[in-house]
Amino acid sequence: MKLPPILQGESLTRLLQGAAAGALVTVVLGFGWAGWQLESKAQKLASQSAINAVVAALAPICVDKFQHAAGATATLVKLKATDSWKQDSFVTEGGWATFPGNEPNSNVAEACAKLLSAVK
C-alpha cells in the first residue's frame, strides 16, 4: 500500500505536521463550537448584561414616577402623540428617567417610553 506524501519522510516532520493540524483543529472547534471567547468579548458581554440589568430594574420605577406625577393622564396622551423615536427624549426631559445622584439614562428612558406606550 502506498502512503500519501504527507505521511512519508522523517518522523519529526510528521510529528510537527500533526501537532500543527491538531492545534488548528482545537482552536477552530474551541472558538467556533465550544464557546471559547476572548477576554475583550467577555468584558463587552458582561458590560452589556449589566446595562440590561440596570434598565430592567429602573424602567418600572420610571413608569411609576411618570404615573404618579401631576397630570399623568394628559402627559401620557402627549407621550403617545409624540413620534416613537422622540418618546425617550420626552421622558428624559420630563425627568422621569433621572434618578438621584445620576444623569438621565437614555436606555432607561427608552424602555420607560415603550412600557408607557403599551399602557391602555
> What average pLDDT does the chain have?
89
Query: Does the pTM exceed 0.75?
Result: no
Q: What is the pLDDT of residue 2?
A: 79
C-alpha cell at 79: 407621550
pLDDT higher than threshold 70 for residue 6: no
Return the pLDDT at 39: 92
User: What is the DSSP code string of the chain?
Assistant: -PPPGGGSS-HHHHHHHHHHHHHHHHHHHHHHTS----HHHHHHHHHHHHHHHHHHHHHHHHHHHHHTSTTHHHHHHHHHHS-GGGHHHHHHHHTTT--TTS---HHHHHHHHHHHHH--
Burial of 43 (0-12, 13-18, 19+ CB in 10 A): exposed
The answer on pLDDT for 119 being more than 70 is yes
pLDDT exceeds cutoff 70 at 9: no
| 103 in Cβ contact with 75 (< 8 Å) | no
* Stretch 37-58: mean pLDDT: 94
